Structure 1
Amino acid sequence: MPQMKVAIAGAGAVGRSIARELVRGDHEVMLIERKLDHVEPAAIPQATWIHGDACELSLLESARLESYDVVIAATGDDKANLVLSLLGKTEFGLGRVVARVNDPRNEWLFDDAWGVDVAVSTPRMLASLVEEAVSVGDLVRLMTFRQGDANLVEITLPDTTPLAGKPVRRLRLPRDTALVTILRGGRVIVPEPDDPFEGGDELLFVASAEVEDELRAVVRLGHPPEPGTD
């Protein structure tokens, strides 16, 4: 993967965890933190640390935010995350803005009108993981991508799935849908056309919201449903 420059606002537990993962991947990371007692360069020495308010335009200008590929608004304040997202998109022309949603009641605000490309709600993600654990064969929405009205969804194949043994190329997906990954045991499989499905596979798709019901039916039946059926 090419090296990216990523700016992260918020150096609390969430921001630091993201930064550590990114620096392990050899990406260039800048952390912006408003609280002085959270500014600890020794904690992640590979990152650039800036003490200041990420909602202040002058600070973002001095940090040369326009030179970054991605900004991640990861503070514990939804208002701050929205302001930074809007500034990142409108003032600095960033191509990718990811924002943390702390209060699920505010999710409706985190859309492209506020410059958000991807909104990540920790409470919703946790709830989705619980649903996934008890909903084999059903579709679980894991994340919403604000651009293009697409979602990251997961379907776990039951042991008796009609897809067992069939190659990936035989799965006739609805429009605006892509199979991204197959999780099998401890393996992450990038699907190739001739890879066979197995019972228990966790399938991750990117799909538009309007075709989710059709996708659910296709995976359950092993083929597109007949007209007039679910």
Structure 2
Amino acid sequence: MRVAIAGAGAVGRSIAGELLENGHEILLIDKTPSAISVERVPRAEWLLADACEITSLDEAALQRCHVVIAATGDDKVNLVVSLLAKTEYGVPRVVSRVNNPKNEWLFNESWGVDVAVSTPRLMSALVEEAVSVGDLVRLLRFSQGDANLVELTLPPESTLAGIRVGDVRWPEDTSLVTIIRGSRVLTPAPEEALEPGDELLFVAAQAQEERLEELLSARHGPEHRPATGGQDGPRNT
């Protein structure tokens, strides 16, 4: 897979190194001569150019790229690169770095962004994920479909403890992706029973996050026990 990375700073070089280790073809683009450090990522291609200029992107042959990553420290630049990559070159997948969380609302499909990665928000989410039990934590936002990757650690008092995955009526536009139980990563098979302490990862529409948290949390009394499949059969959307 060919990947172009706009921004050859510490972030861009780190991403390039990881992707090269996974066997991908990498092009690093930066307009600052001092950022062109070929010796730091010798297996990558390098281009001294302004990634906001069409002539530069033509030289980079962006239409040949499967993925473009806008990884500069300037949100305005990242938005322009994302928009050009998607609209002018038809790049299938555009990932963009968000430096200022206040600008996160701009990083959507209108600007050509498929996935927006906010480092401050991600770090905050990882802290919350490490210490929160019973609260829904948003880990990653997907621009397409207005969906998020969210996590919740099932509290001991949850009314879902002991219930099989296939018997839970999950909210609409919600999919349980995996269950992390101790050192194990489990496929959420219908017969798998949920246990207190399970770390549950979902892809869910943002509009359904509140319902999902209510379903999974310990805030239900016995009279509010969540519905299961029953005679109508399971529903795992």
The interval holding the TM-score normalised by the smaller chain is 0.7 to 0.9
Counterpart of 1:41 (choices 38, 41, 44) is: 38
Matched, 1:183 2:180: yes
Report if aligned partners of 1:172, 1:218 keep a CA contact under 8 Å in 2: no
Report if aligned partners of 1:218, 1:224 keep a CA contact under 8 Å in 2: no
Please name the residue that 1:87 is paired with: 84
- Secondary structure in structure 2 of the residue aligned to 1:7: strand
Counterpart CA distance in 1 for 2:21 and 2:179 is 24
Q: Which amino acid aligns with 1:204?
A: L
Please name the residue that 1:103 is paired with: 100
Matched, 1:74 2:77: no
Q: Which amino acid aligns with 1:178?
A: S
Counterpart CA distance in 1 for 2:191 and 2:36 is 50
Summarize the alignment of residues 134-213 of structure 1 with structure 2, pairs less than 5 Å apart. Answer: 134-213=131-210
Counterpart of 2:111 (choices 111, 114, 129) is: 114
**C-alpha distance after superposition, 1:157-193 (max 9, x if no partner):** 1234443444332232111111122223344334333
Distance 1:152 1:57, change over 3 A: same
**C-alpha distance after superposition, 1:49-104 (max 9, x if no partner):** 22211111111111111111111101001111000001011100112111111011
Distance 1:114 1:26, change over 3 A: same
Displacement of 1:135: 2.5
Please name the residue that 2:226 is paired with: 223
Please name the residue that 2:3 is paired with: 6
Please name the residue that 2:126 is paired with: 129
Counterpart CA distance in 1 for 2:38 and 2:44 is 7
Instruction: State the Cα RMSD in Å.
Output: 2.0
* More displaced 10-residue stretch of structure 1: 115-124 or 175-184: 175-184
Q: Percent of pairs identical after alignment? A: 58
Please name the residue that 2:232 is paired with: none
Counterpart CA distance in 1 for 2:27 and 2:187 is 30
- Secondary structure in structure 1 of the residue aligned to 2:191: coil
Report if aligned partners of 1:217, 1:224 keep a CA contact under 8 Å in 2: no
Q: Which amino acid aligns with 2:110?
A: A
Displacement of 1:224: 4.0
Gaps of 5+ in 1: 226-230
**C-alpha distance after superposition, 1:100-122 (max 9, x if no partner):** 11011211221222111111111
Q: What count of residue pairs does the alignment treat as equivalent?
A: 222
- Secondary structure in structure 2 of the residue aligned to 1:137: coil
Counterpart CA distance in 2 for 1:143 and 1:157 is 19
Counterpart CA distance in 2 for 1:155 and 1:72 is 29
Gaps of 5+ in 2: 229-237
Please name the residue that 1:228 is paired with: none
Counterpart of 1:16 (choices 2, 5, 13) is: 13
